[in-house]
Amino acid sequence: MRYNRGVNKPDFHECPLGGFSRGNLSHCPYVGEGSCPWDSGCIENREDVNVMNYEKEYAKKLTTPEEAVKIVKSGDWVDYGWCANHPRVLDKALAERMIKEPGLTDLKFRGGVALWMPEVAKIPNAKEQMCWNSWHASGYERKLTDNGIGYYAPLRFSELPRNYRDNIKHVDVTFIQVAPMDKHGYFNFGLSASDIAAVIEVSEKVVVEVNPLMPVVLGGTEVSVHIDDVDFIVENEGIPMADLPSGVPSEIDEAVAKLIVPEIPNGACLQLGIGGMPNAVGAMIAKSDLKDLSVHTEMYVDGFVDIANAGKLTCAQKNIDKGRQVFTFAAGTKKLYDYVDNNPAIMAAPVDYVNDARVVAQIDNFMSINNCIEVDLTGQVASESVGHRHISGAGGQLDFMLGAYLSKGGKSFLCCSSAFKGHDGEIKSRIVPTLTPGDAITATRTNLNYFVTEYGIVNLKGMTTWQRAEKLISVAHPDVREKLIKDAESIGIWRNSNKR
Protein backbone atom coordinates (compact mmCIF):
# COMPACT_ATOMS: atom_id res chain seq x y z
CA MET A 1 0.00 0.00 0.00
CA ARG A 2 1.39 3.38 -1.00
CA TYR A 3 -1.06 5.58 0.85
CA ASN A 4 0.70 7.95 3.28
CA ARG A 5 -1.95 10.64 3.73
CA GLY A 6 -1.80 12.41 7.08
CA VAL A 7 1.72 11.26 7.96
CA ASN A 8 3.76 14.00 9.73
CA LYS A 9 0.90 16.48 9.55
CA PRO A 10 0.79 18.79 12.64
CA ASP A 11 -2.12 18.46 15.05
CA PHE A 12 -3.21 22.10 15.46
CA HIS A 13 -4.37 23.61 18.75
CA GLU A 14 -4.90 27.17 19.96
CA CYS A 15 -2.14 29.59 18.98
CA PRO A 16 -0.55 31.36 21.98
CA LEU A 17 0.42 34.27 19.72
CA GLY A 18 -3.23 35.22 19.37
CA GLY A 19 -3.04 36.81 15.95
CA PHE A 20 -2.99 33.45 14.20
CA SER A 21 -6.17 32.41 15.95
CA ARG A 22 -7.82 35.62 14.77
CA GLY A 23 -7.13 34.61 11.18
CA ASN A 24 -4.14 36.91 10.58
CA LEU A 25 -1.47 34.69 9.02
CA SER A 26 0.72 37.51 7.71
CA HIS A 27 2.78 37.99 10.89
CA CYS A 28 3.13 34.32 11.91
CA PRO A 29 6.80 33.32 11.43
CA TYR A 30 6.02 29.59 11.37
CA VAL A 31 3.40 29.34 8.58
CA GLY A 32 6.01 28.92 5.88
CA GLU A 33 7.73 26.22 7.91
CA GLY A 34 4.62 24.04 8.02
CA SER A 35 5.15 23.52 11.76
CA CYS A 36 5.17 25.49 15.00
CA PRO A 37 7.23 25.20 18.21
CA TRP A 38 3.94 25.09 20.13
CA ASP A 39 2.45 22.49 17.73
CA SER A 40 -0.33 25.01 17.35
CA GLY A 41 -2.57 26.82 14.94
CA CYS A 42 -6.27 27.53 15.05
CA ILE A 43 -8.98 25.35 13.64
CA GLU A 44 -10.20 28.19 11.44
CA ASN A 45 -6.86 28.46 9.66
CA ARG A 46 -5.72 24.84 9.58
CA GLU A 47 -6.90 24.58 5.99
CA ASP A 48 -4.86 27.63 4.98
CA VAL A 49 -1.70 26.14 6.45
CA ASN A 50 -2.37 22.80 4.76
CA VAL A 51 -2.88 24.56 1.44
CA MET A 52 0.49 26.24 1.87
CA ASN A 53 2.09 22.90 2.75
CA TYR A 54 0.51 21.22 -0.28
CA GLU A 55 1.70 24.02 -2.54
CA LYS A 56 5.23 23.64 -1.20
CA GLU A 57 5.06 19.88 -1.73
CA TYR A 58 3.68 20.46 -5.24
CA ALA A 59 6.60 22.75 -6.08
CA LYS A 60 9.06 20.22 -4.69
CA LYS A 61 7.64 17.38 -6.81
CA LEU A 62 7.10 19.43 -9.99
CA THR A 63 9.46 18.49 -12.80
CA THR A 64 9.69 18.35 -16.58
CA PRO A 65 8.38 15.43 -18.63
CA GLU A 66 11.93 14.76 -19.83
CA GLU A 67 13.19 14.43 -16.26
CA ALA A 68 10.20 12.38 -15.09
CA VAL A 69 10.58 9.69 -17.75
CA LYS A 70 14.17 9.03 -16.67
CA ILE A 71 12.80 6.79 -13.93
CA VAL A 72 11.77 4.23 -16.59
CA LYS A 73 14.30 1.46 -17.08
CA SER A 74 14.56 -1.56 -19.38
CA GLY A 75 12.16 -4.36 -18.47
CA ASP A 76 9.70 -2.08 -16.66
CA TRP A 77 5.95 -2.40 -16.64
CA VAL A 78 4.61 1.09 -17.34
CA ASP A 79 0.92 1.75 -16.71
CA TYR A 80 -0.93 4.45 -18.65
CA GLY A 81 -4.20 4.20 -16.74
CA TRP A 82 -7.44 4.12 -18.69
CA CYS A 83 -8.86 5.87 -21.77
CA ALA A 84 -8.81 9.69 -21.42
CA ASN A 85 -6.32 9.40 -18.54
CA HIS A 86 -3.54 8.09 -20.78
CA PRO A 87 -0.67 10.60 -20.53
CA ARG A 88 0.19 13.05 -23.30
CA VAL A 89 3.43 14.92 -22.63
CA LEU A 90 4.91 12.05 -20.61
CA ASP A 91 4.15 9.66 -23.46
CA LYS A 92 5.82 12.02 -25.94
CA ALA A 93 8.88 12.51 -23.72
CA LEU A 94 9.29 8.77 -23.18
CA ALA A 95 8.98 8.10 -26.92
CA GLU A 96 11.73 10.66 -27.60
CA ARG A 97 13.95 9.04 -24.97
CA MET A 98 13.36 5.59 -26.51
CA ILE A 99 14.45 6.91 -29.91
CA LYS A 100 17.63 8.42 -28.42
CA GLU A 101 18.34 5.32 -26.33
CA PRO A 102 17.72 2.20 -28.44
CA GLY A 103 19.14 0.18 -25.56
CA LEU A 104 16.02 1.02 -23.54
CA THR A 105 14.12 -2.16 -24.30
CA ASP A 106 11.52 -4.65 -23.12
CA LEU A 107 9.15 -1.93 -21.94
CA LYS A 108 5.73 -3.38 -21.28
CA PHE A 109 2.88 -0.85 -21.33
CA ARG A 110 -0.66 -1.30 -20.02
CA GLY A 111 -3.71 0.75 -20.89
CA GLY A 112 -7.24 0.49 -22.21
CA VAL A 113 -9.65 2.12 -24.70
CA ALA A 114 -6.91 4.37 -26.11
CA LEU A 115 -8.38 7.51 -27.69
CA TRP A 116 -5.17 8.18 -29.65
CA MET A 117 -2.16 6.18 -30.78
CA PRO A 118 0.46 6.19 -27.99
CA GLU A 119 3.64 7.98 -29.09
CA VAL A 120 5.75 5.12 -27.72
CA ALA A 121 4.10 2.82 -30.25
CA LYS A 122 4.98 5.13 -33.17
CA ILE A 123 8.76 5.09 -32.77
CA PRO A 124 10.78 3.47 -35.60
CA ASN A 125 11.89 0.43 -33.58
CA ALA A 126 8.74 0.00 -31.51
CA LYS A 127 8.57 -3.76 -31.99
CA GLU A 128 12.14 -4.17 -30.68
CA GLN A 129 11.68 -1.89 -27.68
CA MET A 130 8.15 -2.29 -26.36
CA CYS A 131 4.80 -4.03 -26.39
CA TRP A 132 1.33 -2.68 -25.63
CA ASN A 133 -1.01 -4.67 -23.37
CA SER A 134 -4.66 -3.63 -23.50
CA TRP A 135 -7.48 -4.32 -21.08
CA HIS A 136 -9.97 -3.32 -23.79
CA ALA A 137 -8.96 -2.47 -27.34
CA SER A 138 -10.00 0.63 -29.23
CA GLY A 139 -9.40 0.99 -32.96
CA TYR A 140 -5.89 2.28 -32.25
CA GLU A 141 -5.03 -0.71 -30.09
CA ARG A 142 -6.52 -3.04 -32.70
CA LYS A 143 -3.93 -1.69 -35.15
CA LEU A 144 -1.17 -2.41 -32.63
CA THR A 145 -2.42 -5.98 -32.30
CA ASP A 146 -2.53 -6.34 -36.09
CA ASN A 147 1.07 -5.03 -36.24
CA GLY A 148 2.33 -7.56 -33.71
CA ILE A 149 3.10 -5.22 -30.80
CA GLY A 150 -0.32 -5.20 -29.14
CA TYR A 151 -1.84 -7.88 -26.92
CA TYR A 152 -5.14 -8.29 -25.09
CA ALA A 153 -5.54 -9.31 -21.47
CA PRO A 154 -8.81 -11.28 -21.18
CA LEU A 155 -10.93 -10.30 -18.20
CA ARG A 156 -14.28 -9.17 -16.93
CA PHE A 157 -13.70 -5.45 -16.48
CA SER A 158 -15.24 -5.57 -13.00
CA GLU A 159 -12.31 -7.73 -11.85
CA LEU A 160 -9.58 -5.29 -12.91
CA PRO A 161 -8.93 -3.56 -9.55
CA ARG A 162 -8.64 -6.97 -7.87
CA ASN A 163 -6.37 -8.17 -10.66
CA TYR A 164 -3.94 -5.40 -9.73
CA ARG A 165 -4.22 -5.81 -5.96
CA ASP A 166 -4.23 -9.62 -5.75
CA ASN A 167 -2.54 -10.89 -8.90
CA ILE A 168 -0.32 -8.31 -10.59
CA LYS A 169 0.70 -6.79 -7.24
CA HIS A 170 3.49 -4.62 -8.67
CA VAL A 171 3.76 -1.92 -11.34
CA ASP A 172 7.10 -0.22 -11.89
CA VAL A 173 5.87 3.16 -13.12
CA THR A 174 2.43 4.74 -13.56
CA PHE A 175 1.87 7.80 -15.77
CA ILE A 176 -1.67 9.26 -15.74
CA GLN A 177 -3.42 12.49 -16.65
CA VAL A 178 -5.32 14.14 -13.80
CA ALA A 179 -7.17 17.37 -12.98
CA PRO A 180 -5.32 20.15 -11.11
CA MET A 181 -4.73 19.67 -7.39
CA ASP A 182 -7.51 20.93 -5.10
CA LYS A 183 -7.05 22.78 -1.82
CA HIS A 184 -7.00 19.50 0.09
CA GLY A 185 -4.06 18.14 -1.90
CA TYR A 186 -6.05 15.77 -4.14
CA PHE A 187 -5.77 15.26 -7.91
CA ASN A 188 -9.12 14.13 -9.31
CA PHE A 189 -8.97 11.31 -11.87
CA GLY A 190 -11.58 13.12 -13.96
CA LEU A 191 -13.08 11.01 -16.73
CA SER A 192 -11.90 7.59 -15.52
CA ALA A 193 -12.30 6.17 -12.04
CA SER A 194 -12.05 2.65 -13.45
CA ASP A 195 -9.10 0.81 -11.88
CA ILE A 196 -6.75 3.77 -11.37
CA ALA A 197 -6.73 3.81 -7.56
CA ALA A 198 -5.79 0.12 -7.55
CA VAL A 199 -3.02 0.73 -10.09
CA ILE A 200 -1.56 3.49 -7.90
CA GLU A 201 -1.70 1.30 -4.80
CA VAL A 202 0.64 -1.27 -6.36
CA SER A 203 2.91 1.16 -8.23
CA GLU A 204 6.51 1.74 -7.22
CA LYS A 205 6.54 5.21 -8.83
CA VAL A 206 3.56 7.43 -9.67
CA VAL A 207 3.81 10.46 -11.94
CA VAL A 208 0.73 12.60 -12.52
CA GLU A 209 0.36 14.79 -15.58
CA VAL A 210 -1.79 17.76 -14.63
CA ASN A 211 -4.13 18.95 -17.36
CA PRO A 212 -6.20 22.06 -16.56
CA LEU A 213 -8.80 20.90 -19.09
CA MET A 214 -9.44 17.56 -17.38
CA PRO A 215 -13.00 17.74 -15.97
CA VAL A 216 -13.38 17.24 -12.23
CA VAL A 217 -15.86 14.40 -11.81
CA LEU A 218 -17.41 14.01 -8.38
CA GLY A 219 -17.97 10.58 -6.92
CA GLY A 220 -17.71 8.33 -3.94
CA THR A 221 -14.46 6.47 -3.32
CA GLU A 222 -11.32 5.97 -5.39
CA VAL A 223 -11.75 8.98 -7.67
CA SER A 224 -8.56 10.86 -6.76
CA VAL A 225 -4.98 10.56 -5.56
CA HIS A 226 -3.40 12.63 -2.79
CA ILE A 227 -0.15 14.49 -3.37
CA ASP A 228 1.46 12.42 -0.60
CA ASP A 229 1.02 9.36 -2.83
CA VAL A 230 2.58 11.01 -5.89
CA ASP A 231 6.31 10.90 -6.64
CA PHE A 232 6.52 13.47 -9.45
CA ILE A 233 4.24 16.04 -11.07
CA VAL A 234 4.41 17.33 -14.63
CA GLU A 235 2.10 19.81 -16.30
CA ASN A 236 0.76 19.98 -19.81
CA GLU A 237 -0.42 23.21 -21.35
CA GLY A 238 -4.06 22.22 -21.47
CA ILE A 239 -4.31 19.65 -24.25
CA PRO A 240 -8.02 19.26 -25.05
CA MET A 241 -9.69 16.01 -24.06
CA ALA A 242 -9.79 13.65 -27.03
CA ASP A 243 -13.09 13.48 -28.88
CA LEU A 244 -14.99 10.24 -29.35
CA PRO A 245 -17.94 11.30 -31.55
CA SER A 246 -21.06 9.16 -31.49
CA GLY A 247 -21.37 9.16 -35.26
CA VAL A 248 -24.55 9.21 -37.30
CA PRO A 249 -26.71 6.10 -36.70
CA SER A 250 -27.27 3.93 -39.77
CA GLU A 251 -30.72 2.82 -40.91
CA ILE A 252 -30.05 -0.56 -39.31
CA ASP A 253 -29.03 1.09 -36.03
CA GLU A 254 -32.28 3.06 -36.01
CA ALA A 255 -34.35 -0.03 -36.87
CA VAL A 256 -32.84 -1.90 -33.92
CA ALA A 257 -33.40 1.09 -31.61
CA LYS A 258 -37.08 1.22 -32.61
CA LEU A 259 -37.47 -2.36 -31.40
CA ILE A 260 -35.70 -1.83 -28.07
CA VAL A 261 -37.11 1.51 -26.88
CA PRO A 262 -40.73 0.23 -26.50
CA GLU A 263 -39.37 -2.43 -24.11
CA ILE A 264 -38.08 0.26 -21.72
CA PRO A 265 -40.52 1.37 -18.98
CA ASN A 266 -40.71 4.72 -17.23
CA GLY A 267 -38.36 4.80 -14.25
CA ALA A 268 -35.88 2.39 -15.87
CA CYS A 269 -32.13 2.54 -15.25
CA LEU A 270 -29.97 2.54 -18.38
CA GLN A 271 -26.64 0.99 -19.33
CA LEU A 272 -25.52 1.63 -22.90
CA GLY A 273 -22.50 -0.10 -24.42
CA ILE A 274 -20.02 1.20 -26.97
CA GLY A 275 -21.11 1.50 -30.59
CA GLY A 276 -23.64 2.82 -33.06
CA MET A 277 -26.65 0.78 -31.95
CA PRO A 278 -26.56 1.71 -28.24
CA ASN A 279 -25.98 5.33 -29.28
CA ALA A 280 -29.01 5.14 -31.58
CA VAL A 281 -31.06 3.84 -28.64
CA GLY A 282 -29.90 6.80 -26.55
CA ALA A 283 -30.84 9.28 -29.27
CA MET A 284 -34.28 7.71 -29.62
CA ILE A 285 -34.86 7.72 -25.86
CA ALA A 286 -34.06 11.44 -25.79
CA LYS A 287 -36.90 12.01 -28.26
CA SER A 288 -39.33 9.58 -26.61
CA ASP A 289 -42.06 10.05 -23.99
CA LEU A 290 -40.10 8.11 -21.37
CA LYS A 291 -39.55 9.83 -18.03
CA ASP A 292 -37.84 9.47 -14.63
CA LEU A 293 -34.97 7.48 -16.12
CA SER A 294 -31.67 6.71 -14.37
CA VAL A 295 -28.11 5.86 -15.38
CA HIS A 296 -25.72 3.21 -14.04
CA THR A 297 -23.28 2.45 -16.83
CA GLU A 298 -19.73 1.35 -17.48
CA MET A 299 -19.11 4.01 -20.14
CA TYR A 300 -20.78 7.41 -20.14
CA VAL A 301 -21.32 8.75 -23.66
CA ASP A 302 -22.85 11.78 -25.38
CA GLY A 303 -26.23 10.04 -25.64
CA PHE A 304 -26.72 10.30 -21.89
CA VAL A 305 -26.16 14.07 -22.04
CA ASP A 306 -28.86 14.30 -24.70
CA ILE A 307 -31.27 12.30 -22.53
CA ALA A 308 -30.45 14.50 -19.52
CA ASN A 309 -30.89 17.72 -21.49
CA ALA A 310 -34.27 16.42 -22.65
CA GLY A 311 -35.31 16.34 -18.98
CA LYS A 312 -35.70 12.57 -18.82
CA LEU A 313 -32.90 11.72 -16.38
CA THR A 314 -33.93 12.31 -12.78
CA CYS A 315 -32.44 9.17 -11.17
CA ALA A 316 -35.29 9.57 -8.68
CA GLN A 317 -36.42 5.94 -8.97
CA LYS A 318 -33.03 4.37 -8.30
CA ASN A 319 -32.81 1.97 -5.38
CA ILE A 320 -29.19 3.00 -4.75
CA ASP A 321 -27.18 6.16 -5.54
CA LYS A 322 -30.48 8.03 -5.84
CA GLY A 323 -30.19 11.25 -7.82
CA ARG A 324 -26.81 10.33 -9.31
CA GLN A 325 -25.83 9.22 -12.82
CA VAL A 326 -23.16 6.60 -12.13
CA PHE A 327 -20.33 5.54 -14.44
CA THR A 328 -16.77 4.24 -14.28
CA PHE A 329 -15.34 6.09 -17.31
CA ALA A 330 -16.52 8.61 -19.86
CA ALA A 331 -15.57 9.51 -23.41
CA GLY A 332 -17.34 11.67 -25.96
CA THR A 333 -17.23 15.26 -27.14
CA LYS A 334 -16.82 18.65 -25.45
CA LYS A 335 -20.57 18.58 -24.78
CA LEU A 336 -20.06 15.62 -22.46
CA TYR A 337 -16.89 16.97 -20.84
CA ASP A 338 -18.58 20.29 -20.00
CA TYR A 339 -21.63 18.47 -18.63
CA VAL A 340 -19.82 16.13 -16.24
CA ASP A 341 -17.40 18.78 -14.90
CA ASN A 342 -18.19 19.40 -11.20
CA ASN A 343 -21.78 18.24 -11.77
CA PRO A 344 -23.38 16.96 -8.53
CA ALA A 345 -25.76 14.83 -10.63
CA ILE A 346 -22.77 12.79 -11.82
CA MET A 347 -20.98 10.09 -9.82
CA ALA A 348 -17.78 8.39 -10.93
CA ALA A 349 -16.94 5.13 -9.17
CA PRO A 350 -14.40 2.31 -9.51
CA VAL A 351 -15.31 -0.43 -11.95
CA ASP A 352 -15.49 -3.14 -9.27
CA TYR A 353 -18.52 -1.25 -7.94
CA VAL A 354 -20.16 -0.04 -11.15
CA ASN A 355 -19.90 -3.33 -13.06
CA ASP A 356 -20.54 -5.66 -10.14
CA ALA A 357 -23.57 -7.78 -11.07
CA ARG A 358 -24.57 -7.81 -7.39
CA VAL A 359 -24.75 -4.01 -7.40
CA VAL A 360 -26.61 -3.91 -10.71
CA ALA A 361 -29.14 -6.43 -9.39
CA GLN A 362 -30.15 -4.01 -6.63
CA ILE A 363 -31.52 -1.52 -9.18
CA ASP A 364 -35.08 -2.22 -10.34
CA ASN A 365 -35.94 -2.14 -14.06
CA PHE A 366 -32.30 -2.23 -15.13
CA MET A 367 -31.94 -2.10 -18.93
CA SER A 368 -28.60 -3.29 -20.36
CA ILE A 369 -28.04 -2.62 -24.07
CA ASN A 370 -24.88 -3.85 -25.81
CA ASN A 371 -23.45 -4.85 -29.19
CA CYS A 372 -22.16 -8.20 -30.34
CA ILE A 373 -20.35 -9.47 -33.44
CA GLU A 374 -21.68 -12.99 -33.95
CA VAL A 375 -24.10 -15.44 -32.33
CA ASP A 376 -24.56 -19.14 -32.98
CA LEU A 377 -27.89 -20.95 -33.25
CA THR A 378 -27.84 -21.98 -29.59
CA GLY A 379 -27.17 -18.43 -28.34
CA GLN A 380 -23.41 -18.38 -27.72
CA VAL A 381 -22.20 -14.82 -28.22
CA ALA A 382 -18.91 -13.50 -29.61
CA SER A 383 -18.46 -9.77 -28.94
CA GLU A 384 -14.70 -9.23 -28.82
CA SER A 385 -13.03 -11.03 -31.73
CA VAL A 386 -13.57 -12.22 -35.27
CA GLY A 387 -11.87 -15.57 -35.27
CA HIS A 388 -8.40 -15.00 -33.90
CA ARG A 389 -8.39 -11.30 -34.85
CA HIS A 390 -8.95 -9.28 -31.73
CA ILE A 391 -11.49 -6.43 -31.97
CA SER A 392 -12.36 -4.99 -28.54
CA GLY A 393 -12.75 -6.81 -25.22
CA ALA A 394 -15.17 -8.50 -22.86
CA GLY A 395 -15.66 -5.29 -20.88
CA GLY A 396 -18.72 -5.42 -18.67
CA GLN A 397 -21.07 -7.14 -21.09
CA LEU A 398 -21.46 -10.38 -19.14
CA ASP A 399 -21.67 -8.60 -15.77
CA PHE A 400 -24.47 -6.35 -16.97
CA MET A 401 -26.33 -9.23 -18.62
CA LEU A 402 -26.26 -11.15 -15.34
CA GLY A 403 -27.10 -8.13 -13.20
CA ALA A 404 -29.95 -6.97 -15.43
CA TYR A 405 -31.60 -10.38 -15.35
CA LEU A 406 -31.32 -10.44 -11.55
CA SER A 407 -32.85 -6.97 -11.35
CA LYS A 408 -36.58 -6.78 -10.58
CA GLY A 409 -38.14 -5.97 -13.98
CA GLY A 410 -34.68 -5.91 -15.59
CA LYS A 411 -33.80 -6.91 -19.16
CA SER A 412 -30.60 -7.26 -21.15
CA PHE A 413 -30.44 -6.73 -24.90
CA LEU A 414 -27.67 -7.83 -27.24
CA CYS A 415 -27.95 -6.36 -30.70
CA CYS A 416 -26.23 -6.50 -34.07
CA SER A 417 -26.98 -6.17 -37.75
CA SER A 418 -28.35 -9.41 -39.16
CA ALA A 419 -25.63 -9.58 -41.81
CA PHE A 420 -22.84 -7.68 -43.54
CA LYS A 421 -21.25 -7.70 -46.98
CA GLY A 422 -17.98 -9.57 -47.22
CA HIS A 423 -15.01 -8.53 -49.33
CA ASP A 424 -16.42 -10.68 -52.12
CA GLY A 425 -19.71 -8.75 -52.04
CA GLU A 426 -21.61 -11.72 -50.66
CA ILE A 427 -24.02 -11.43 -47.71
CA LYS A 428 -22.45 -12.86 -44.55
CA SER A 429 -24.82 -13.70 -41.70
CA ARG A 430 -23.96 -12.70 -38.13
CA ILE A 431 -26.23 -15.53 -36.97
CA VAL A 432 -24.31 -18.72 -37.70
CA PRO A 433 -24.69 -22.45 -37.00
CA THR A 434 -21.36 -22.50 -35.14
CA LEU A 435 -19.09 -19.63 -34.20
CA THR A 436 -16.10 -18.82 -36.38
CA PRO A 437 -13.06 -20.85 -35.23
CA GLY A 438 -11.05 -18.70 -32.87
CA ASP A 439 -14.00 -16.57 -31.74
CA ALA A 440 -13.81 -15.60 -28.09
CA ILE A 441 -17.12 -16.39 -26.38
CA THR A 442 -18.07 -13.27 -24.41
CA ALA A 443 -21.47 -14.45 -23.16
CA THR A 444 -22.53 -18.07 -22.86
CA ARG A 445 -25.84 -19.29 -24.23
CA THR A 446 -27.24 -19.56 -20.71
CA ASN A 447 -26.93 -15.78 -20.26
CA LEU A 448 -28.56 -14.46 -23.44
CA ASN A 449 -31.87 -12.73 -22.73
CA TYR A 450 -33.14 -10.52 -25.59
CA PHE A 451 -31.43 -10.67 -28.99
CA VAL A 452 -32.18 -7.94 -31.53
CA THR A 453 -31.50 -7.35 -35.23
CA GLU A 454 -33.22 -5.02 -37.67
CA TYR A 455 -35.64 -7.88 -38.38
CA GLY A 456 -36.97 -8.38 -34.90
CA ILE A 457 -36.45 -9.00 -31.20
CA VAL A 458 -36.54 -12.42 -29.52
CA ASN A 459 -36.28 -13.58 -25.90
CA LEU A 460 -34.22 -16.76 -25.50
CA LYS A 461 -34.64 -17.27 -21.77
CA GLY A 462 -36.32 -20.61 -21.02
CA MET A 463 -36.00 -21.81 -24.62
CA THR A 464 -34.70 -25.25 -25.71
CA THR A 465 -32.08 -25.54 -28.44
CA TRP A 466 -34.65 -26.06 -31.18
CA GLN A 467 -36.73 -23.13 -29.95
CA ARG A 468 -33.62 -20.95 -29.85
CA ALA A 469 -32.70 -21.93 -33.40
CA GLU A 470 -36.20 -21.08 -34.59
CA LYS A 471 -36.23 -17.70 -32.84
CA LEU A 472 -32.74 -16.69 -33.97
CA ILE A 473 -33.40 -17.69 -37.58
CA SER A 474 -36.59 -15.60 -37.48
CA VAL A 475 -34.49 -12.43 -37.02
CA ALA A 476 -31.72 -13.45 -39.44
CA HIS A 477 -31.32 -11.84 -42.86
CA PRO A 478 -34.05 -13.27 -45.17
CA ASP A 479 -31.47 -14.34 -47.75
CA VAL A 480 -29.79 -16.77 -45.35
CA ARG A 481 -32.72 -18.22 -43.41
CA GLU A 482 -33.21 -21.36 -45.54
CA LYS A 483 -29.51 -22.18 -45.29
CA LEU A 484 -29.60 -21.68 -41.52
CA ILE A 485 -32.55 -24.08 -41.27
CA LYS A 486 -30.54 -26.74 -43.11
CA ASP A 487 -27.58 -26.03 -40.84
CA ALA A 488 -29.81 -26.40 -37.78
CA GLU A 489 -31.12 -29.73 -39.12
CA SER A 490 -27.58 -30.98 -39.71
CA ILE A 491 -26.54 -30.31 -36.11
CA GLY A 492 -29.73 -31.74 -34.63
CA ILE A 493 -31.48 -28.62 -33.31
CA TRP A 494 -34.39 -28.37 -35.75
CA ARG A 495 -37.73 -30.16 -35.47
CA ASN A 496 -40.25 -30.80 -38.22
CA SER A 497 -42.77 -28.75 -36.27
CA ASN A 498 -40.50 -25.68 -36.30
CA LYS A 499 -41.93 -22.61 -37.99
CA ARG A 500 -40.40 -21.61 -41.30
State the DSSP string of 143-172. HHHHTTSEEE----GGGHHHIIIIII--EE
User: CA 162 to CA 370: how far, in whole Å?
Assistant: 24
What b/e string do you get for 442-454 counting C-beta neighbours within 10 Å, with b at 16 or more?
bbebebbbbbbbb
Helix (H) or strand (E) segment spanning residue 340: helix 334-340
Q: Is 298 a catalytic residue?
A: yes
Q: Output helix, strand, coil percentages for the chain, rounded to the nearest 5.
A: 30, 20, 45
Q: CA distances (Å), 269 to each of 40, 295, 367, in order?
A: 51, 5, 6
Burial 271-290 (b: 16+ CB within 10 A, else e): bbbbbbbbbbbbbbbbeeeb
Set 159, 201, 209, 298: catalytic member: 298
Report yes or no: 343 and 337 within 8 Å, Cβ to Cβ: no
Nearest to 111 by CA among 166, 149, 74: 149
Residue 269 to residue 295: CA distance in whole angstroms: 5
Residue 325: strand, helix, or coil: strand
**Known catalytic residues?**
298
